Amino acid sequence: MTRITSLNPAKTSQRTKQIATLTIFTALYIVLRFVPYSILIGGSGTLNLSDFLAPIIGILLGPYLGGLSVVIGNFAAIGLGKPLVFDGLDFLPDLMAVLATGFLTQRKRSGWAIVVGLNAALLAIFLANPLTSIFVYSVPFAWLHIAAFIVLLTPLSLMAAKWIYTTNYRKVAVGIAILAFIGVMMQHLTGNILFEVVLGQITKVVPAAAYADTWKVVFFVYPVERLFLVISAVLVGTPLIYLFAKVPFLNPRKTIVEK
């Protein structure tokens, strides 16, 4: 006798939305991996527009599905001819941005604690590396990273995670700006660590003596790059996430929409 198991329409619909969103954003991410917006100072390679998409993917898909999206996207781009910069670890900076925004938008203390732990660990690892210039022109090199960490520690980070699920367009924009700021700064810290460890200490493509001068240039450039990424995330992400808040049926995550 054949036993027929009934499917839960709600679960099937949610899974279908997740798969569809995963496919769409992974494909978009792959395309943007080939569109540069800046060069990698001190090494060969470019920074790509996929960097601003990573925080949005984390918000929309969450830390796990979003993380899967950028990992697949990175290796797919490599398969399509994207040159490696960090010997196969190129996915890590964007993964950190996804985990940051993904866990924060869960609006749980446990998720917030994970992001705080990750951010603190990344900042400590970067500052502890002997190739890091702690001060540049008598100013802490990581001043903007410290600012982002302070924002994460304040109630603003949890409030931002709540604002993106409202139907108030301004609150959505501000919420994305705060979350993206935290995400792209963790992304940058991870890239800095890979730049030192992979290129300077493992493969030694970049001479150790070159790092002090490199950080003097990066000091002026990285705040501009990070501002560009935050603004891009707000301009692209706000109408998209606002649409998902207004039409919950489209939202791939189970979230409570508030006014």
Are the beta carbons of 118 and 189 closer than 8 angstroms? Answer: no
Mean of the pLDDT values across residues 159-173?
92
How is residue 152 written in tokens? 């994460």
How is residue 111 written in tokens? 């998720």
Enclosing domain of residue 19? 11-250
Q: Is residue 255 part of a domain?
A: no
Neighbours of 1 (CB within 10 A): 2
Q: Is residue 2 part of a domain?
A: no
How is residue 99 written in tokens? 């985990």
Q: C-alpha 182: how far from its chain's center?
A: 8
d(CA 47, CA 4) in angstroms, rounded, equals 52
Residue type, 10: A
pLDDT tens across 188-237, in order?
A: 999 999 999 999 999 999 999 999 999 999 999 999 999 999 999 999 99
Q: Is residue 231 part of a domain?
A: yes
pLDDT score for 254: 57
CA separation, residue 142 to residues 45, 78, 121, 231 (Å): 22, 30, 14, 20
Residue 6 has pLDDT above 50, yes or no: no
pLDDT score for 189: 98
Q: Is residue 258 part of a domain?
A: no
Number of domains in the chain: 1
Short-list 198, 190, 231, 229, CA closest to 91: 190
